[in-house]
């Protein structure tokens, strides 16, 4: 390891993310043969295969998975040392990685991306949907930013006060839940209350890597429980199914408003009192003084908050 080429760490990081020599070569602007040669050097240096070929691409070995967080931490530290103290957006080619819950895409990107691309036409934003491992990646500084849902209701397990101390956050917009049902649903002829709400079966969308939400916490306190008939991970598919069945779908109100232009669904209030939750922009305090990171955060926060203030 005395003559180890530390540039290989970048190759290993990209291979871990892409799990494909072809995709890694495209990101690194190298030929596939060059990446394969560098992978062989990595295997020799670490005395491990690092990746196994499968029908679906490269599968990291346990050793490679172990190295991933350590490599990312080293590269972050090097990046901090070499990054200029002044950031000029128009000249930057920096690549940012953001993980966000599915419902946040349409609620944020249309507002901040136009301004971002106008100021910095050559940067790249790698977007990934938030999942159960996203918080850990954020804590390891593997992601630049996250956009997640958190609650202000004291009854919730996802209260904003329970965020890790190493993270900072900014509220983007608050939101509440609504119920969606198809046109002609039989419950529309009944009194809308908690009994009617629980009488019918439900369609549950697990997004953001979390299946248990404030509504379920509140119902559990009252010794009540929804009858979940179908669990999905995609809201678009869920709304299609809701439109074709007697299932009730609970959804964030702002996202539902955006999507209802494409579906024949009726909106009803959730028949129990809930404190509105919030979409939060999250980042590790490690990035607090990074000028390029601060520039990106400020654009996202200002653009999104302004857009929703104008809608009030």
- What pLDDT digit, counting tens, does each position of 250-273 carry? 999 999 998 898 999 999 999 999
Supply 293's token pair: 């990171």
- Domain 89-174+278-311 and domain 177-273 have a common topology: yes
Q: Kindly report the CATH number that applies to the domain delimited by 8-82.
A: 1.10.10.10
How many whole angstroms separate alpha carbon 27 and alpha carbon 245? 44
Provide the CA 229 distance to its chain's centre, in angstroms: 26
Supply 115's token pair: 């301004």
- What is the structure's pLDDT at 160? 92
How many whole angstroms separate alpha carbon 159 and alpha carbon 307? 25
Phi, psi of 291 (to 5 degrees): -65, -35
Q: Is the pLDDT of residue 100 over 70?
A: yes
- Domain extent listing, the chain: 8-82, 89-174+278-311, 177-273
Calculate mean pLDDT across residues 230-254: 94
- What is the structure's pLDDT at 97? 93
- What is the structure's pLDDT at 312? 58
Q: Tokens 């809308």, residue?
A: 192
With a pLDDT cut of 90, the percent of the chain lying above it is: 64
Q: Is the pLDDT of residue 298 over 90?
A: yes
How many whole angstroms separate alpha carbon 153 and alpha carbon 164? 18
How many whole angstroms separate alpha carbon 280 and alpha carbon 138? 13
Least confident of 142-151, 179-188, 206-215, 254-263: 206-215
CATH homologous superfamily of 89-174+278-311: Periplasmic binding protein-like II (3.40.190.10)
Q: Is the pLDDT of residue 1 over 60?
A: no
- What pLDDT digit, counting tens, does each position of 81-97 carry? 666 667 899 999 889 99
Among 87, 24, 89, 79, which residue's Cα sits nearest to residue 50? Answer: 24
- What is the structure's pLDDT at 49? 94
Top mean pLDDT of 186-200, 222-236, 251-265 is at 186-200
Q: Is the pLDDT of residue 3 over 90?
A: no
Among 117, 107, 150, 191, which residue's Cα sits nearest to residue 278? Answer: 150
- What pLDDT digit, counting tens, does each position of 130-148 carry? 988 899 889 888 899 999 9
CATH homologous superfamily of 177-273: Periplasmic binding protein-like II (3.40.190.10)
Q: Tokens 């404030």, residue?
A: 214
């Amino acid at each position: 390891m005395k003559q180890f080429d530390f540039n290989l760490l970048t190759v290993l990081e990209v291979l871990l993310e892409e799990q494909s020599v072809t995709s890694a070569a495209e990101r690194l602007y190298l030929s596939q043969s060059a990446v394969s040669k560098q992978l062989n050097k990595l295997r020799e240096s670490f005395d491990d295969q690092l990746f196994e070929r499968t029908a679906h691409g490269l599968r990291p070995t346990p050793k490679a998975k172990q190295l991933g967080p350590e490599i990312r931490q080293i590269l972050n530290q090097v990046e901090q040392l070499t990054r200029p103290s002044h950031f000029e957006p128009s000249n930057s080619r920096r690549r940012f990685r953001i993980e966000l819950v599915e419902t946040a895409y349409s609620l944020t990107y249309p507002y901040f991306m136009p301004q971002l691309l106008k100021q910095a036409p050559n940067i790249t934003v790698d977007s990934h949907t938030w999942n159960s491992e996203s918080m850990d990646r954020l804590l390891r500084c593997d992601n630049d930013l996250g956009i997640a849902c958190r609650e202000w209701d004291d009854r919730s397990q996802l209260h904003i006060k329970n965020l890790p101390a190493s993270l900072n956050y900014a509220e983007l917009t608050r939101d509440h839940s609504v119920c969606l049902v198809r046109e002609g649903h039989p419950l529309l002829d009944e009194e809308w209350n908690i009994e009617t709400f629980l009488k019918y079966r439900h369609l549950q969308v697990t997004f953001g890597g979390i299946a248990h939400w404030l509504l379920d916490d509140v119902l559990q306190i009252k010794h009540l429980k929804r009858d979940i008939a179908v669990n999905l991970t995609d809201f678009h598919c869920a709304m299609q199914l809701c439109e074709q069945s007697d299932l009730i779908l609970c959804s964030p109100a702002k996202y539902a408003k955006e999507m209802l232009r494409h579906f024949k669904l009726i909106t009803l209030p959730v028949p129990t009192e809930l404190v509105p939750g919030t979409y939060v922009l999250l980042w590790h305090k490690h990035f607090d003084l990074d000028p390029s990171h601060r520039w990106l955060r400020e654009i996202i926060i200002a653009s999104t908050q302004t857009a929703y203030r104008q809608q009030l």
